[in-house]
Structures are given as C-alpha cells and as structure tokens.
Structure 1
Amino acid sequence: MKTINFISTFANKYFALITILVAILAFNLPNQFLWLNSYINILLGIVMFGMGMNMKPVDLKLVLTKPIPVLIGVLIQFSIMPLIAYGIATLLQLPPMLAAGIILVGCVPGGTASNVMVYLAKGNVALSIAMTSFSTLLSPMLTPLLLYLLAGQWMPVNPFAMFLSIIQVIIIPIALGIIIQKFLPNIVEKSSQALPFISVIAISGVVAAVVSGNTENIAASGILIFLTVIIHNLSGLLLGYVIAMALRLDADMRRAISIEVGIQNAGLGVSLANTHFAQQPLTALPGAVAVVTHVINGSILATIWSRRPIRKKTTDVDKQRSSSYIS
C-alpha cells in the first residue's frame, strides 16, 4: 500500500512533466503509440469512473448550502471560456478545423486535474471539486449547445449526437463510479490510493494517441496551435480570478475559481473531436495541446500561490471535503 501511495503521489506531483515526456515520445516515435487511438474514449471513461468513485455527499452539500460561489464559477466557465475561444479564433483568423478545436476546448467542463492544483495552491478544495462535479454534470447539455452556436460557422455540429457521446463517455462512467462507491465502499477505500496514478496514465494515453496520430499536422502548424491554446488558457486563469475578486469572494475562492475556469477537461475535447470530426483531424489538436499546457500553467500558478498562505476560517464543509480528498 505504501508503494502505491508513493507512486500516486509522485504521479500527481510530476503530472506536468509526465505529460510533456509522453508527448515528446509520441511525437518522435509515433508508430509506438498509434494503437492508442482506438482507446481514447475508454481512457477518458476510466478517468471519469475514478471521478465518480471520488464524489462525496459533501460535494452536493456545498452546492446546496453555499450555491453562490459554485454557480458564479460555473457561469464564468461556460461563458468566458467559450467566448474567449471564439474571439481568438476570429482575431487570429484560424483555419476552420483549429477554430472549431479551440472553441471545443472552451466549451468543455472543468478538468479533474484542477482539484489537485487548487489543493496545492491552498485554494478552496471543496469549491473546486463542487465546480468540477457540477460543470461536468451540466456538460451534456451546455457543451453541444455552445459548440453549435459558436463553431457552427466553421464546422457542421450535431448537438444531439454530441449530447449522446458525452452521456456515454462522461455521465455513465461517473454514475458507475458513484454506484460502486455506494454499494462497495471497501473496494473503493482500498483502491482510492491508486486512482490518481491511473488517471495520470489514462490522460497521458490520450495525449500520446492524438500526438502520434498528428505528427505532421503538429509540425506544420505547431506554433499557431500552442499560441492559441496558451492565450486561451492564461486568459481563463486571469479572468476567473479578476471576476471572482470583483465579486468580492474570499481569496481561497478566487484561487479555486481561477484554476477551475482556466483548466478545462481537454481530454473530453479530444474524445469529442475524434468521434464527431474524424475527417478533420486538426480539430483534435488544440485539445491535445491543452492537456499538456493546462497542466503546466496550472502547476506553475499553484506553486506560486502555495508560497502565499491565506488566513481564513475553515468551514465544516471545507474540512470534510479537504480531508476526504487528501485521504
């Protein structure tokens, strides 16, 4: 058990480095990773299954007892990020596939890696996990609708088909995880230490699959893709914090909302792009790049904030969720 705990801690701590190394390997040795393309949806489902196993009743309690910060964060996420992506695509006059791809990244919910970053940043972990859970549950409706409205001019979007895909890849695995947690708590407790490591492996597999399958496209338009994704990501981190500060939320909530807004579930973007835009492979590239850059930028920000402690009274909900998350 100590070994598993050590490996999971190591994987969380060096998540950014691991994804970078995997991306480099996949770019230079694509033939070794091409087989992963058939398993992208399964890999993402594994991550979501782990998320379901880690969901606690206290997450819902926070939404019900202190809904304003959660609703503010989710509203910012599903408004600011899609609109920023649309603005970048328009201003930079991106090719249709890249435009649709970055907007897709902007329309997906928050990523599970954000919870780790908020914890390291000494932010409000309970708020972070509640936002991730709530935005993920809303994503079957909001992601297809927003993509249809904002990216329809560049690419034909079938919102109903995308709705079904998100149900299959996101909601069903989460529901199964919750069921397992409810009826087999002993198994969940024994496997909880290994879940972070499994999630890192699964997300790295998604990165390797997309990069290996698009090495020529990345080489041809890599600078433009990285520039687009980084601008989008940094804008989300900044505006999330500024808006939360303007609304006079506590410092730990500002940190949580900033990271939650800026760190998207880019793996879902990759999965949806591969499923619905298979004939336009460049559509998946912004998502693949975002998986790496979001972790890097979020980790850097979390490290900076970790050195700036916050003095604040901790609520019972915060204590419950933080303790269960850490364990």
Structure 2
Amino acid sequence: MVGAFEQALLALMIFVIMLGMGASLTPRDFYLALRRPYGLAIGVISQYGFMPLIGFLLVTFLTVPQAIAMGILIMSCMPGGTTSNIFTYFSKGNLALSVLMTVTSTITGVVLIPIVLVVYATALDLDIPRENIIATLVLLLVPVAIGMALRKINANVGAVTEFLGSALALFFIVFLMVSWVPRNWRFLLETTPATYVAAIGLGVMGIAIGYMFARALRLHPRNARTVALETGIQNGPLAIAIIVFTFSGTQAQEVMAVPVLYSLFIVIVSTLVTLIFRRANTAAEQKLPDGLL
C-alpha cells in the first residue's frame, strides 16, 4: 500500500523528473525535430505502436488477474523514460535522438495514451478510469514547461535541473526497493509467475522489437541502439503515479505490481543490453551520419 506521505513524495519526485526533462529542451530542439519528422515518427511508432501491442499480447496469452492485466496495459502505454537517456549514453548511442524520442513520446502521450488505453482496454474488457489519467498527464506538462523556462533564463540552472531529474529517475528505483517492496513482500511471494514474466518480458521484448525495427529501416547502428533502448525503457515512475492517483486500496497495490517490478527489472535488463551494445560497438560506428538519423 502507498501512504499519504509516500504519495506526496512520489508526486514531488515525478515533478522533479519532468522538470529535468523540460530543462533538457530548448525551442531549437522542437524546430530541429520538426525539420526531421522521421525521428518523431519512429518515436511515436515505437512507443504507441509496438509497446501497447506487446502489453496486449502479454495479457492475452498470460493468465493473470484483472488488476494485474490493468497494470500491464498501463505500463505498456507509457511514454519513454529519462532513464533511457542514461543507458543510451553509456551504450554509445545517439543521445540527441534519445532525448528527442523521450520528449516526443511524453508530449504526444497526452493525446495518444488515452486513445491506446481505450482501444486495448475495450478489447480486453478492462475498466480503466481514463479521466484521471488524462488529468495527470496534462498536469505533468507543467513542470516540463517550467524546466524549459529555467533553461532559457539560465543555462547553468537548466543543466543542474536536467541532471537532478535524470539522477532522481534512478533514485526512484532505490526508493521502491527500500519502501514498497519490503512492505509488500508477502504479496510479491504469492503473486503468480506470470506477473514476473510480464514485468520482465515487456522490457525485453520492447528492446528486441525496437532494435529489429530500427535495423529494418537501415538506421545507423548507433541510432538502432538508441531506438531499441527508447522503445523498451518506459516511464515507470509516471505509470506508478497514475495508478496511485487513480486507484485505491488493495486494487491499487495489485495494479501497481507490474509497473513496480518492471521499474526494478528494467535497470538490470538495460544494463545487460548496454554491455552487449558496448562490446558490439566499433570505431566505424562512432561517426554519425548528418542529422539525427
């Protein structure tokens, strides 16, 4: 269960994470993005085409309770997380493309997340309160706008804010480990193996399909690694925040199970994938083609 103090702390962390995302942006970034819509299209297709479909298939083929199914679907419909930017950097991917895809999926998510949720929830006969989710998403654009304003006013303040947002995204995982997991240990022991399969499989399948999609488009290897990580690494903190502010009681705990487990395991999965990408990296791959793609 999540108490009032944890709800307030969670809200604060989400605010800072989104503030950091906004601080990484300038109006020029949007101008460049619009000049190169190919990157935007890849980001939208990856996040709202592949990931919700993966979540739908997991719910369809795994035997899970309805609350767990809702958690899987909500997690799969989230935009990219800022953690992907960190793993992209260490995997020697294209950091500019990573940030572009993260921001694009977050902003377009205000419209696309409710749509894909309605489509797949209806197909799975799940009742997910869309109004609270839409309200939460709209409110999260406020710290993004504030972050952009801070970056414009003072570049140094913007850089510090950006770093804090990225660091807090990783700290959020630690927060879950020391707070939520111990108090819900019995629930985690009693939940079905299918819950763990879904939590781990969502990230693994997302990264694999994202990479194959990028290679099918004949993208540069650095860009392919970036698309793979951006596709598989979802915004876990946002999913948990939406659940906390939408559901209550035992139902909230069950719906939250997959996003929490996903947030814990995606760090392990992404670390292993990053090590693989670094070993496969060659000097010839370091030179990027003109533009983001």
TM-score by length of structure 2 reads 0.88
Cα deviation for residue 35 of structure 1 reads: 4.2
Cα deviation for residue 212 of structure 1 reads: 4.6
Report whether the alignment pairs 1:53 with 2:27.
no
Deviations 1:59-109 (A, max 9, x none): 324422322133123212211111111111111121101111011110000
Query: 2:37 is matched with which residue: 36, 56, 67?
Result: 67
- Matched with 1:314 is 288
- Matched with 2:259 is 287
Report whether the alignment pairs 1:164 with 2:138.
no
Using the TM superposition, name which of 97-106 and 118-127 deviates more: 118-127
- Matched with 1:13 is none
Report SS of the residue matched to 2:29.
Answer: helix
Deviations 1:237-296 (A, max 9, x none): 111111111121221111111110000001111111111122412101111111111111
Report SS of the residue matched to 2:191.
Answer: helix
Note if contact 1:41-1:271 (Cα within 8 Å) is conserved in structure 2.
yes
Alignment map for 1:68-147 (pairs within 5 Å): 68-147=38-117
- Matched with 1:12 is none
Q: Which amino acid aligns with 2:119?
A: L
Report whether the alignment pairs 1:305 with 2:259.
no
Cα distance in 2 between the residues matched to 1:192 and 1:263: 18
Cα distance in 1 between the residues matched to 2:8 and 2:164: 24
Note if contact 1:233-1:263 (Cα within 8 Å) is conserved in structure 2.
yes
Quick one: structure 1 residues 61 and 86, their matched pair in 2 at CA, closer, same or farther if it must change by over 3 Å?
same
Note if contact 1:99-1:151 (Cα within 8 Å) is conserved in structure 2.
no
Cα distance in 2 between the residues matched to 1:84 and 1:190: 36
Note if contact 1:207-1:291 (Cα within 8 Å) is conserved in structure 2.
no
Report whether the alignment pairs 1:180 with 2:150.
yes
Q: Which amino acid aligns with 1:292?
A: L
Using the TM superposition, name which of 190-199 and 138-147 deviates more: 190-199
TM-score by length of structure 1 reads 0.80
Deviations 1:199-251 (A, max 9, x none): 43345335555435533321211633221111121111111111111121221
Using the TM superposition, name which of 150-159 and 299-308 deviates more: 150-159
Note if contact 1:34-1:212 (Cα within 8 Å) is conserved in structure 2.
no
Note if contact 1:43-1:206 (Cα within 8 Å) is conserved in structure 2.
no
Cα deviation for residue 143 of structure 1 reads: 1.3
Q: Could you tell me which runs of 5 or more consecutive residues in structure 1 were left unpaired when the two chains were aligned.
A: 1-29, 319-327
- Matched with 1:296 is 268
When the two chains are superposed, the root-mean-square deviation of aligned CA atoms in Å is: 2.5
Note if contact 1:109-1:135 (Cα within 8 Å) is conserved in structure 2.
yes
Using the TM superposition, name which of 253-262 and 216-225 deviates more: 216-225
Cα deviation for residue 177 of structure 1 reads: 1.0
Runs (4+) of structure 1 exceeding 4 A deviation are 189-195, 206-209, 315-318
Note if contact 2:114-2:134 (Cα within 8 Å) is conserved in structure 1.
yes
- Matched with 1:278 is 248
Cα deviation for residue 190 of structure 1 reads: 5.2
Cα distance in 2 between the residues matched to 1:235 and 1:134: 21
Note if contact 2:80-2:234 (Cα within 8 Å) is conserved in structure 1.
yes
Cα distance in 1 between the residues matched to 2:64 and 2:192: 13
Cα distance in 1 between the residues matched to 2:164 and 2:202: 32
Cα distance in 2 between the residues matched to 1:156 and 1:245: 37
Deviations 1:39-78 (A, max 9, x none): 2222211111111112234532442232213312321221
Note if contact 2:236-2:263 (Cα within 8 Å) is conserved in structure 1.
yes
Cα distance in 2 between the residues matched to 1:122 and 1:70: 21
Quick one: structure 1 residues 163 and 194, their matched pair in 2 at CA, closer, same or farther if it must change by over 3 Å?
closer
Note if contact 1:43-1:203 (Cα within 8 Å) is conserved in structure 2.
no
Note if contact 1:59-1:126 (Cα within 8 Å) is conserved in structure 2.
no
Using the TM superposition, name which of 192-201 and 229-238 deviates more: 192-201
Cα distance in 2 between the residues matched to 1:192 and 1:210: 26
Report SS of the residue matched to 1:36.
Answer: helix
- Matched with 2:215 is 245
Cα distance in 2 between the residues matched to 1:209 and 1:167: 28
